């Protein structure tokens, strides 16, 4: 396995990576799952053997008004409304189907208004387009006002269950968190794997901790959503591609380092990675409890269960993600 070194003209790197690492057609002309295909039943079976303590660690933010969004770009923190309340029950003001409930019974219900990318979520393979196409070459305009006909979140509803490996970069570097703008390199990834005594291989779900969320828990969200951040260097794409990883989920807004490394670009990593490789990218995962648990017992591999909810035709969706270890 030879990881591609970065080209000296970054502008070319985009096209070069697209050409070199595209998986269009690799799993058939009708594939919609991309690198999630790297996870085979054998991987799942093997991952289940990693459950040693029987501990279940949650990996997601809560959905409420305390989230990171500011409203910019149409992204806001989850709105929740009570359709029925205990207060109304307590006051005998509650009805069901037009009448009072019998036997002193009451109930509560809720409706939420949720931007699917507003907190912990997986991008589906219809989230990013390039030159009028989405993953596997489907026309971008299959994603209309009615959602997408292919590469929606629902195709992943039995995917993203497998071996998870935590790469805790700040811990491997001996810092509390990475600074905004820090570009995580392939060497950083290797060092974190070495610290965790894990090899990274085919079908792995990488849980990549930058520590930015830990900092926000201390200092407030600030510009977390959409601003500068530590994250993967654009030039880690060869490393990720060569290892046949299934997915990478991070604790930042956008997975890749910001400011972005390529001139005249916005989240350029997403183009070769999501559009061409079909890499499943998870964002705003809360890896703090997991990092503490792994640091405590030194076990950095685990069974992960994190399929996105099956919102039909969507560009991404939240999972109820857990590490089982």
Tell me which residues in 94-123 interact with a copy of itself (CB under 8 A). 94-97, 101-117
Give yes or no for a contact between 207 and 165, defined as CB atoms under 8 angstroms apart. Answer: yes
Exactly one of 137, 201, 222, 320 binds a copy of itself (CB under 8 A); that residue is: 320
Nearest one of 116, 122, 101 to 33, comparing CA atoms: 122
Where is 71: in which H helix or E strand?
none
Q: State the minimum distance, in angstroms, from the CB of residue 192 to a copy of itself.
A: 24
Question: Cβ closer to a copy of itself: 31 or 123?
Answer: 123
Q: Which stretch binds a copy of itself (CB under 8 A): 157-165, 172-180, 187-195, 209-217?
A: 157-165
Question: Cβ closer to a copy of itself: 106 or 196?
Answer: 106
Interface mask (CB under 8 A) for a copy of itself, residues 281-310, using x and -? Answer: ----------------------x-xxxxxx
Nearest one of 229, 283, 262, 225 to 73, comparing CA atoms: 225
Q: State the minimum distance, in angstroms, from the CB of residue 60 to a copy of itself.
A: 6
Contacts of 204 (CB under 8 A, 6+ apart): 162, 163, 164, 165, 243, 245, 246
CA quadruple 99, 101, 104, 105: dihedral, nearest 10: -150
Question: Cβ closer to a copy of itself: 114 or 186?
Answer: 114
Structure-block tokens of residue 318: 């939240």
Exactly one of 17, 21, 43, 184 binds a copy of itself (CB under 8 A); that residue is: 43
Q: State the minimum distance, in angstroms, from the CB of residue 33 to a copy of itself.
A: 12
Q: How far is CA 236 from CA 80, 87, 178, 209, in A?
A: 39, 54, 17, 15
Rounded to whole angstroms, the Cα distance separating 191 from 198 reads: 10
Q: Is 201 in the site for a copy of itself (CB under 8 A)?
A: no
Question: Cβ closer to a copy of itself: 186 or 255?
Answer: 255
Output the CA torsion sign for 16, 247, 314, 289: negative
Question: Cβ closer to a copy of itself: 19 or 91?
Answer: 91
Q: State the minimum distance, in angstroms, from the CB of residue 15 to a copy of itself.
A: 10
């Amino acid at each position: 396995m030879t990881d591609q070194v970065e080209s000296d003209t970054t502008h070319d790197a985009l096209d070069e990576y697209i050409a070199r690492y595209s998986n269009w057609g690799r799993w058939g002309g009708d594939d919609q799952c991309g690198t999630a295909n790297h996870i085979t039943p054998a991987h799942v079976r093997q991952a289940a053997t990693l459950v040693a303590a029987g501990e279940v660690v949650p990996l997601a933010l809560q959905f409420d008004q305390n989230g990171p969004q500011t409203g910019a770009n149409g992204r806001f923190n989850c709105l929740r409304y009570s359709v029925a309340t205990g207060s109304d029950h307590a006051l005998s003001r509650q009805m069901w189907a037009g009448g009072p409930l019998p036997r002193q019974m009451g109930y509560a219900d809720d409706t939420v208004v949720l931007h699917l990318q507003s907190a912990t979520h997986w991008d589906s393979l219809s989230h990013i387009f390039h030159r009028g196409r989405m993953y596997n070459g489907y026309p971008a305009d299959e994603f209309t006002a009615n959602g997408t006909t292919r590469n929606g979140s629902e195709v992943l509803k039995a995917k993203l269950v497998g071996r998870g490996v935590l790469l805790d970069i700040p811990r491997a570097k001996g810092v509390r968190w990475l600074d905004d703008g820090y570009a995580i390199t392939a060497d950083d990834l290797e060092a974190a794997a070495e610290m965790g005594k894990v090899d990274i291989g085919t079908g792995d779900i990488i849980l990549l901790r930058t520590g930015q969320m830990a900092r926000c828990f201390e200092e407030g969200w600030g510009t977390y959503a959409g601003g500068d951040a530590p994250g993967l260097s654009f030039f880690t794409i060869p490393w990720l591609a060569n290892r046949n990883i299934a997915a990478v989920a991070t604790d930042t807004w956008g997975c890749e380092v910001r400011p972005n490394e390529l001139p005249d670009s916005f989240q350029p990593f997403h183009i070769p990675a999501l559009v061409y490789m079909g890499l499943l990218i998870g964002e705003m995962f809360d890896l703090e409890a997991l990092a503490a648990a792994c640091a405590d017992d030194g076990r950095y591999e685990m069974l992960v269960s994190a399929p996105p909810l099956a919102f039909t035709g969507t560009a991404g969706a939240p999972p109820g993600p857990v590490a089982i270890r």
